[in-house]
Structure 1
Amino acid sequence: MKGLILAAGRGSRLLPISATRAKHAVPVAGVPIIARAVQSLRDAGIHDIGIVCSPSSETDLRDATQHSGHLTFIRQREALGTGHAVLSARAFLEREPTLLYLGDNLFEDRLTPLIGTLRDADAVIGVKQVPNPQAYGVAVVKNGRLLRLVEKPRKPESNLAACGVFSFRPALLEYVQDLLPSDRGEIEFPQALGALMAAGGQVRAVEFTGFWSDAGAPDDLLSANLHFLSHLQPRIEGRVDRSVVSGTVVIEAGAAVEDSVITGPVWIGPHALVRGATIGPGVSIGAHARVDSARVHATLIDDFARILHPTQPIVRSLIGRHALVTAPSDTGLQMVIGDRSVMRM
């Protein structure tokens, strides 16, 4: 079986974080989203994995997966939808069964059931009970069989969201090939499941019970960050001086913590510096970042960011690479706010 991860989308809901790199390369608890996707497939026993990327995102994704073993990168030259992305990988799939993973998803559950269930079906879809199904593609399921998918219905028939992972036999690609563009002008892969069922094919549903997030918006990303931080194994390889460290805390090699209070779950990346700060819970601090005289809670701080003497606590925030957060000058606030940024004062 082949594994295929779709990661060509830029991620408009994560702007401006995603303005300078693919959203799939953003770290969650210190590990890029795309690397977690690759690991999920490997944990399911799949080792021949392709990643569909855009020409602009390929370098980011290669860098983010440099420690993930051999991968095949496939370019989708135009953003024409998930179905088009799958067809872009047709030569790689070589008419083998496929486990398809939409690359901004994060799962706690193993994906192995999608492989086993495919033995008795033409395709399999992963679903998850959610409190707000109207925000998702909703799966209507009876006795384990998918009856239909409805995109963001006003009155959902079920509380099962389609959660971005599928397995299918090679024949499904013929139905993808025949799809017409949707109202958004895209070839939508899930529509092929409806065409398959209309022709008499059987699509089964596998329900996940553990944590799931599509990590496509800031709140989703922060929730995922907290979840994976909470599952870390405590480990201190960096230097800790005159500080109090409690709870689940990882301090990577080369990092330094001085005169601070760290309350887990917290991850502090390689060569980061934390000085005179109160950190946690629910904070990840990227490699080479610096946090000085700050109070930080439930926040994702990316590589090389600098948090220097802010006058207010930083709570539930995303702070991108090389960003600077600091105190106002004597003349007042200075702001350099890019497109689609958010600031609450």
Structure 2
Amino acid sequence: MDALITAAGKGTRANLPEGMRKEMLPIYTIRNNKIVLRPIIECIVYNLSLSGVDKFFIILDINDKHTEDYLSTLNMRTEFIYQKKPEGYGKAVLLAKDYIKNDFILNAGDGIILDINKIGNMINLHRSTKKTILSVMSVPNPELYGVATIKNGKVIKVIEKPEYPESKYALAAFYIFNKEILDLIAGAELTPAINKHIINGNKVLPFKIRRSDWVSIGNSGTYYKIMERTYNYYSKVISS
């Protein structure tokens, strides 16, 4: 299976210094049964490769040579797609339309599901059902996220940062899509395309993860919490 990773943001909302990318900030992970620091985007690629992904399409800012040089050292099948200017998450994903040929995983470059077993379970669910899979998590403040309305085990609607959320289930930025989704993106956001996909008669399944399973680098003020969470998570993995 192919994976598309979006990593073209400039880190302005994270209050990072000029030229520093959120995707290159290190988090704790495990290599050779030892806890080490690695850039979050490397952790994403590594976890997905362990889950059976064999080709990566990575969207980068056209001037971001540092991330490209680093990822080129990972000995993975990787193709880079360049974004000239930021126009929203949907438009970033749309850049891959001429590259993606089959069903694919979409993962934001600054967020990761720590439990690779759940990644594998999502991939297996997609393979057995051939349906779109959205990872969702119960959160106390869904108005800050894209929100999924779920009925009878299906996602019937998604809304981006609604003022009055219909559910507590927020979208984590990990999805498994049919290539058709790339034909439906028309604006800056991805959620309208998901809704069109549903309206077109496609069944979309939620995959529930715990809030603690998902780590996303938001801003520099909370980055230390990400470091703490990933260290504690992998400490338990090694000791178990």
TM-score, normalised relative to structure 2: 0.85
Tell me the distance in 1 between the aligned counterparts of 2:214 and 2:234: 17
- Code of the residue aligned with 1:46 in structure 2: it is V
Return the offset for 1:231. Answer: 4.0
| Alignment partner of 1:60 is 2:69 | no
**Equivalent residue in structure 1 for 2:121, among 113, 119, 129:** 113
Return the offset for 1:66. Answer: 4.8
Give the SS at the match of 1:13: coil
Partner of 2:225: 223
Tell me the distance in 1 between the aligned counterparts of 2:155 and 2:169: 11
Considering only CA atoms, is the larger Rg found in Structure 1 or Structure 2?
1
Q: Higher helix proportion, which one?
A: 2
- Code of the residue aligned with 1:112 in structure 2: it is G
Tell me the distance in 2 between the aligned counterparts of 1:169 and 1:224: 31
Partner of 1:7: 7
Given the superposition, is the C-alpha separation of residues 136 and 33 from structure 1 closer, same or farther in structure 2, using an over 3 Å criterion? same
Question: How many equivalent residue pairs?
Answer: 224
Return the offset for 1:218. Answer: 2.4
**Equivalent residue in structure 2 for 1:82, among 61, 70, 89:** 89
The answer as to whether partners of 1:139 and 1:162 remain within 8 angstroms in 2 is yes
Tell me the distance in 2 between the aligned counterparts of 1:219 and 1:130: 20
Greater shift in the superposed pair: 73-82 or 112-121? 112-121
Partner of 1:145: 154
Give the SS at the match of 1:14: coil
TM-score, normalised relative to structure 1: 0.60
For residues 247-326 of structure 1, what are the structure 2 equivalents within 5 Å? none
Give per-residue Cα distances to partners, 1:135-191, cap 9 Å, x unaligned: 111111123311111222232221111010111112222212xx2x3xxxx2x2222
The answer as to whether partners of 1:10 and 1:18 remain within 8 angstroms in 2 is no
The answer as to whether partners of 2:114 and 2:215 remain within 8 angstroms in 1 is no
Give per-residue Cα distances to partners, 1:253-308, cap 9 Å, x unaligned: xxxxxxxxxxxxxxxxxxxxxxxxxxxxxxxxxxxxxxxxxxxxxxxxxxxxxxxx
- Code of the residue aligned with 2:225 in structure 1: it is S
RMSD over aligned Cα atoms: 2.1
Return the offset for 1:101. Answer: 0.4
Give the SS at the match of 1:92: coil
Give the SS at the match of 2:170: strand
The answer as to whether partners of 1:109 and 1:208 remain within 8 angstroms in 2 is no
Give per-residue Cα distances to partners, 1:70-120, cap 9 Å, x unaligned: 222111222122222222222321x21100101111222221233222242
Extract unaligned runs of 5+ from structure 2.
29-36
Extract unaligned runs of 5+ from structure 1.
235-247, 249-345
